[in-house]
Structure 1
Amino acid sequence: MISSLLATIIFLWHFALAELYKPANSIQCSHSAQCPQDWPCCSQYGECGAGPMCIIGCNPKFSFHEDSCTPMPGLIFPDNLYYMSSYSSESKKNNNPSVLNKIEKRDLNREYNFHSFERMNPTDDITINNVGLKMKQRRFINHVEYLMTSNDTEAEIMLQEYDFTYSGFTDIDNSTDEIILKMPKKSTGSLLSSARVMLYGKISINMRTARSRGVISAIVLMSATGDEIDFEFLGGDLFGVQTNYYSQGELVYSNMHHHHVFPDTSQNDHLYEIDWKRDHITWLIDGKEVRKLYKKDTWDPSLRNYKYPQTPMRLEVAIWPGGAETNALGTIAWAGGPIDWENSEDMRTTGYFHIDINAIQMIPFQNKFTNVFEECYNALDDDDKIIPDVAIRNTKAVYIYDGIQNKFANEGSLSINCNHITRIKGYSNSNLNSLGIDYNKIYRLNDIQSGERSLNEIARRDERINNRNINKKSSIVPNLINNELLKNNINTITSNSDSLYKCFNPIFIVSKLMEQYLSYIFFDWWH
């Protein structure tokens, strides 16, 4: 009974968080409408919010202030992110290239070898049924938890331990160890994202796509300011894939190309790769190049800029309902038509559409900031350099946008900070509530090229921050939930069932009133 109640409480906790960091009525953000101070962070979907919406995917161009968004933890050369299921490592599928089976790490011309990060996998003889625990043991964390803490030590541990975030209906197949992104009936699907961003690099995903008309599977490199490179799969076209790219959120549909894939993408594993360099992008399927785009061909003379992805990007893998009846007619038509939520084969057999992922790799390339990252590394204490892999992350290097609100963002819009712990202290807060950046350690790209630092720019930023009013108005819902409270209450539940009635404040009251009915329903559904 305790486990069922705990499952109910955790479900209601996540539900409540969704209300805490979003306004009751959606507020849209764009180049013509920045977010208000109460909900200061603009998400990649053009919605204003706070808390988790201020981390990584937050668009500083359309937020209340560019510093509403947190600095972005950088995936820096020669570190990389990867996930390998037992299924992919054994190469059981006849169509599963073994390209990802060997992870190679490159050095920065140093006298040491890099070793793989230790995976937090469970022991072979134990079956873990709790989805959240299974995901965390594989370095995945729910996006509403990631870097949501007022404690620097806890945030630093998260930066070290987690490679990916997830949302929606995400699970792990106990028999194959594959990541499953699900989309149950009438839902909005699921999303997997890298916990760090990179400026140029290569991503590789080995997976099977979702099937059925109107269901979309996507592999995307996405920047906070709207740069994008992607593969998109229509569930009604299982022998094809679309490749596309966008610059700064401008939707130019003529950039899309269609490619044939064989055998079909739903029943067979294929390796999809995007090789993103400073001067060109290459899309590959099963190791074969299917498209190449050169930066020189994207020049816009009116803007006097290249409409080419050139800002730090994170990796996303998603399943979403392109054919949902709530979408625009043009989106539904592009997706192949309305989704059949009742009679589709997967709905009849499993109750959900799904993507099955058995390998992920994200490798950053060197860029113009590589020498700064080396300085970050050299500044570490000798004790912090004992394990090189961990040392790279110990630099806590972040990318920061500067002076870009409603402007075209590119490499020149970026700064690097060598020792910054990214975090948001509450679900009604933004980065403005926890500014702790040492601006004396910021290096701008033009300063790197000239060998000097822009002291005037630093002084202007310091003055702007000192004069800024960061006394954010109280949110509609009090911030009653944080990581520390959750941990304390879970510990109380597991160690002393008599204290249950004292836990979780209003959320516990709701869960108690609904316990007899909801615990069984939500426990079965959630797991």
Structure 2
Amino acid sequence: MKFSTVIAAVASVGFAAAASAPSCGAGSKCPKESPCCDAYGQCGSGVSCLGGCDARYSFAADSCAPQPVCSNGAGTHTFTDVSDIVYYTQYNGDISKNLWSYTGEVLEQNSSAVLTMRKNTVGTVLFSNFFIWYGKVTAVIKTSHLDGVVSDFILMSNVKDEIDYEFVGNDVTAAQTNYYFEGLLNYDNEFTATVDNSTYASYHEYTIDWQEDSITWYVDGNAVRTLNKADTVNSTTGVAEFPQTPARIQLSVWPGGDSSEPQGTVQWAGGPIDWNAPDLSDPGYYFVEVESVTVDCYDPPSSANTTGSKSYVYTNQEGLEADVSITDDDTTISLSSGSSSGSTSSGLPLQILSQAPQSQSSLQSLEELSQVSTAQTKTKSKSQSKTQAIPVVSAIATSTTAASSSAAASTSDDSSASATDSADASDSTGSADATDSAAADNSASATDSAASTAATGAAGHLAAPLSGLAAALLGLVL
């Protein structure tokens, strides 16, 4: 997920406090006072310690909050009522209250959740607050359409293990499948499946069957691809570069063809996005419709260290399957009244929206407007450049200053800082012939056997491609 839009108006926005938040990634862990490395490579506390908190680069493995287990979300989720889907800064880890959260805007229409992308915005991400450690997930969705508009259905773990369906708006007969291990880039991991009938005009079932030793992607009940874990072993390290850690469900719509994107991203997304397309007048936005999501939880690995049944916890910062335990640790944290630390304290750029959502807007306060709005972004070009994942902060066009959310991380005498300690002070139709093992006529780009060629740099997988102006203002390392 990766993109950022920085315009001249950013210079008028004061965010000196935001720029002070330390960054995190390979070779750089968070300090004790801001112990949690969030999904965007910034250290913080509060909501930074919830979904997306990367134990590898946090102060300690247990700095991140425990993750709610899969059983909380087992069954079929329909979206006839979206009132229980909360803006992500309002979620405190209490899975009994909120199974889903979002950034951007989620509407309810025709018994579906509508993920919107209004003019000149970064779109919307809907994600589960419960995690899955192997299981089958089926999403019944209609994608968006047109050049530059990208729709996603993915499983994403906190340490950047990822299983994807991606849909590029200029080809509504294709579903791109992909996977990543700890965010490592491997250009041989993608395979595109054909979808009968338009992905935009018709609902289709997209299934990810994630098992300990394989992943199978299905479209409308037909297997279109199978990946075997044994085929992902890196011959040098001996490590299976295979998604293997608890992951959240994410569905999204985002502007891969925005002018702020690298040219490779724009080309992959089908060309420049039309911010004056008819959709932006009626109904007023590009959109993805989510009819339902069905979750079937599988048993955890037999080797898993199990001392409870409520939460997944990282016990080591390697971020492998063996480093996850199942415990009875509480998943909730305390968010201080009126503020949280997970975004504006993260040193992210502000995007001034040229058209703010009106009455349907889920962003109801200046504080919320100053929070991070994420969008799924992929970079893909003939030169095989690909990046993933980004943060952008949203604010109304008339706002020339942003409310600064600050959080004081609590300290303790212990050798590690936990999420609960710090939070007390803050708040993407085929057959078996399309599997990866039958590639006599498939190009190398459709196979899964070249995992050893994975490019290194998980941090780069998540780094926002900021302009020079933004970098100068924020003091970020490009």
TM value normalised by structure 2? 0.65
Q: Structure 1 residues 339 and 369 mapped into 2: Cα distance closer, same or farther (>3 Å)?
A: same
Partner Cα distance (1:471, 1:282) in 2: 35
Alignment of 1:158-173 (within 5 A): 158-173=94-109
* Aligned counterpart, 1:410: 320
Q: Structure 1 residues 172 and 471 mapped into 2: Cα distance closer, same or farther (>3 Å)?
A: closer
Contact 2:25 2:57 in 1 (8 A): yes
* Aligned counterpart, 1:324: 258
Q: Structure 1 residues 293 and 166 mapped into 2: Cα distance closer, same or farther (>3 Å)?
A: same
* Aligned counterpart, 1:33: 28
Would you say 1:266 and 2:200 are equivalent positions? yes
Shift of 1:212: 1.5
Shift of 1:29: 2.7
Shift of 1:232: 0.2
Partner Cα distance (1:168, 1:27) in 2: 25
Contact 2:46 2:419 in 1 (8 A): no
Shift of 1:474: 11
Contact 2:66 2:329 in 1 (8 A): no
Q: Structure 1 residues 192 and 85 mapped into 2: Cα distance closer, same or farther (>3 Å)?
A: closer
Aligned length: 341
Shift of 1:167: 1.5
Would you say 1:192 and 2:123 are equivalent positions? no
Would you say 1:356 and 2:289 are equivalent positions? yes
Alignment of 1:26-175 (within 5 A): 28-37=23-32, 39-76=34-71, 80-85=74-79, 134-136=82-84, 140-147=85-92, 158-173=94-109
Contact 1:220 1:229 in 2 (8 A): yes
Matched residue of 1:64: which SS?
Answer: coil
Contact 1:182 1:319 in 2 (8 A): yes
Which shifted more, 263-272 or 44-53?
Answer: 44-53
Q: Structure 1 residues 142 and 285 mapped into 2: Cα distance closer, same or farther (>3 Å)?
A: same
Alignment of 1:111-510 (within 5 A): 134-136=82-84, 140-147=85-92, 158-173=94-109, 176-342=110-276, 344-368=277-301, 376=308, 397-404=310-317, 407=318, 409-426=319-336, 427-428=339-340, 466-468=414-416
Contact 1:66 1:401 in 2 (8 A): yes
Give me the CA root mean square deviation: 3.1
Partner Cα distance (2:121, 2:19) in 1: 19
Partner Cα distance (2:23, 2:264) in 1: 20
Q: Deviations over 1:434-481 (max 9, x none)?
A: xxxxxxxxxxxxxxxxxxxxxxxxxxxxxx973447899999xx96xx
Q: Structure 1 residues 46 and 331 mapped into 2: Cα distance closer, same or farther (>3 Å)?
A: farther
Partner Cα distance (2:304, 2:232) in 1: 28
Shift of 1:84: 2.0
Matched residue of 1:308: which SS?
Answer: coil
Contact 1:200 1:366 in 2 (8 A): yes
Partner Cα distance (2:213, 2:57) in 1: 28
Any gaps of 5 or more consecutive residues in structure 2?
A: 1-13, 343-411, 428-478
Shift of 1:63: 2.3
Q: Structure 1 residues 371 and 182 mapped into 2: Cα distance closer, same or farther (>3 Å)?
A: same
Partner Cα distance (2:223, 2:304) in 1: 31
Partner Cα distance (2:234, 2:303) in 1: 28
Matched residue of 1:76: which SS?
Answer: helix
Partner Cα distance (1:43, 1:333) in 2: 29
Q: Structure 1 residues 206 and 468 mapped into 2: Cα distance closer, same or farther (>3 Å)?
A: closer
Shift of 1:348: 3.2
Which protein is richer in helix relative to its size? 1
Any gaps of 5 or more consecutive residues in structure 1?
A: 1-18, 87-120, 122-133, 148-154, 377-394, 431-463, 483-527
Contact 1:73 1:422 in 2 (8 A): no
Partner Cα distance (2:301, 2:217) in 1: 23
Q: Structure 1 residues 326 and 422 mapped into 2: Cα distance closer, same or farther (>3 Å)?
A: same
Partner Cα distance (1:257, 1:245) in 2: 10
Partner Cα distance (1:471, 1:276) in 2: 29
The structure showing larger relative contact order (alpha-carbon pairs under 8 Å, at least 6 residues apart) is 2
Q: Deviations over 1:372-400 (max 9, x none)?
A: 77x74xxxxxxxxxxxxxxxxxx5x1111
Q: Structure 1 residues 468 and 259 mapped into 2: Cα distance closer, same or farther (>3 Å)?
A: closer
Q: Structure 1 residues 66 and 23 mapped into 2: Cα distance closer, same or farther (>3 Å)?
A: farther
Partner Cα distance (1:469, 1:165) in 2: 26
* Aligned counterpart, 1:522: none
Contact 1:66 1:403 in 2 (8 A): yes
Which protein is richer in strand relative to its size? 2
Matched residue of 2:275: which SS?
Answer: coil
Partner Cα distance (2:297, 2:147) in 1: 35
Matched residue of 1:297: which SS?
Answer: helix
Matched residue of 2:414: which SS?
Answer: helix
Q: Structure 1 residues 263 and 32 mapped into 2: Cα distance closer, same or farther (>3 Å)?
A: same
Q: Structure 1 residues 28 and 187 mapped into 2: Cα distance closer, same or farther (>3 Å)?
A: farther
Partner Cα distance (2:159, 2:172) in 1: 31
Q: Structure 1 residues 25 and 210 mapped into 2: Cα distance closer, same or farther (>3 Å)?
A: farther
Matched residue of 1:349: which SS?
Answer: coil
Shift of 1:30: 1.8
Paired-residue identity, %: 31
Partner Cα distance (1:402, 1:253) in 2: 31
Partner Cα distance (2:334, 2:240) in 1: 34
Q: Structure 1 residues 184 and 410 mapped into 2: Cα distance closer, same or farther (>3 Å)?
A: same
Shift of 1:159: 2.0
Contact 1:184 1:351 in 2 (8 A): yes
Q: Structure 1 residues 26 and 236 mapped into 2: Cα distance closer, same or farther (>3 Å)?
A: farther
Matched residue of 2:267: which SS?
Answer: helix
Q: Structure 1 residues 347 and 398 mapped into 2: Cα distance closer, same or farther (>3 Å)?
A: same
